Structure 1
Amino acid sequence: MPRPKTLPNEEVLDAAISIMRKEGPEGLTFAALSAGCGLSASTLVQRFETKSRLIQAALLQAWDRLDRLTAELAESTPKTPAGAVSLLVGLSGDYGGIETYADDLMILREDLRDPALRARGAAWRDALSAAIGARFEGVAAAPTGVGLMMASQWQGALLWWSFDPRLPVQDFVEESLKRFVAAFVTAPSAAPERR
């Protein structure tokens, strides 16, 4: 089969992410990407120049998708504590099984090494925390900073699930987040008066 003459960057970067998931970031080379997407290695070098720029471009595209998914879920879930749970359960569906989650942790290392990618992660944290916090407006018992607290609870739930992935990830996350919300939404707002 002949090589394609052109391929949009989005498809090329999808192939790069796929290679990183299977082989780790070290396994992503221009030769491997050439085999994966069909463009010549020299064409890929012309587009991305270096392996680090290729990795950065692939991960920036992944951040763009996560930003869009987060915005879509924020738009489609109710502005209630239950909506906050739904939003985070919806974000959990992208993790798949334990192997996918573990492979994505290898890729996360690259996000942490690159200042531009770390900045994208921090910006997403802020946007996600604000979207969660908006679902607690008017909830008197909600602690200050509940958005970031619940996002942190969610990330912790994902990690704890990964050690014992018997339940589907979304079920585990939903149970964990419902317990988190119940800890203050149903808690009494003040201690009873003493007589």
Structure 2
Amino acid sequence: MPRTRTLPDEQLLEMVLALIHAEGPDAASFGAVAKVSGLSGSTLVQRFGTKAGMLRAALIHAWDRLDAETAKVSAAADKTPEGAVGLLTALSQDYGEDPATYAQGLLVLREDFRDPVLRARGAAWAKALTAALSECLASTPEAETSARLMLSQWQGSLLWWGFTSQGRVADYVEQELSLFLKTLLHRP
């Protein structure tokens, strides 16, 4: 008879994610997770099979959260070009206010690139985000192309913020995307 789980999966995966974000993906060993969760290493092996399985489960959980947040923010966004800026600015809130924290997030992104299942989640998210931005940019020429360019600008602005640390990340993103939008729409 299988042992009863003493921690719900969601709570355990949140602990794994917190460890990954604090110390990097390589630090998420069965021993380290056992220490923070209070579960035994053998219980973790039963649940996940391998360290890679545990990491994948935690990152899929993170993708699930991001998909839900994206759907919520997209539904609330005004269907205007300014709404597109607001949508991406809202999604930028979770990047932290410290470039070192953002850098830890890039280590997690490395894991997403390495795993084909996680890479597919990223591609699906980009597709959903492009569709949401296209709705906001419907009044612009070639809305889907504009949406894809805006996504690239958004990710670039996050990187440049990491180097410059100019104020809050959301403020920096909003400023940069507003400038992009002004240029895209040829507004003075």
Secondary structure at 2:79's aligned position in 1?
A: coil
Could you tell me which amino acid in structure 1 is paired with residue 86 of structure 2? S
Alignment partners' CA distance in 1, 2:159 and 2:139 = 30
Could you tell me which amino acid in structure 1 is paired with residue 108 of structure 2? I
Uncovered stretches (5+) of structure 1, i.e. residues with no partner: 189-195
Alignment partners' CA distance in 1, 2:39 and 2:93 = 31
Uncovered stretches (5+) of structure 2, i.e. residues with no partner: none
Measure how far apart 1:18 and its partner are: 1.1
Moved over 4 A (4+): 141-144
Q: 8 Å contact 2:157–2:176 — kept in the other structure?
A: yes
Normalised by the length of structure 2, the TM-score is 0.93
Q: Is residue 114 of structure 1 aligned with residue 115 of structure 2? A: yes
Measure how far apart 1:12 and its partner are: 0.7
In structure 2, the partner of 1:191 is none
Could you tell me which amino acid in structure 2 is paired with residue 7 of structure 1? L
In structure 1, the partner of 2:52 is 52
Q: 8 Å contact 1:16–1:58 — kept in the other structure?
A: yes
Greater gyration radius: 1
Measure how far apart 1:99 and its partner are: 2.1
Normalised by the length of structure 1, the TM-score is 0.90
Secondary structure at 1:183's aligned position in 2?
A: helix
Alignment partners' CA distance in 1, 2:143 and 2:171 = 25
Alignment of 1:1-195 (within 5 A): 6-97=6-97, 98-139=99-140, 141=141, 145-187=145-187
Alignment partners' CA distance in 2, 1:65 and 1:25 = 18
Q: 8 Å contact 2:166–2:172 — kept in the other structure?
A: no
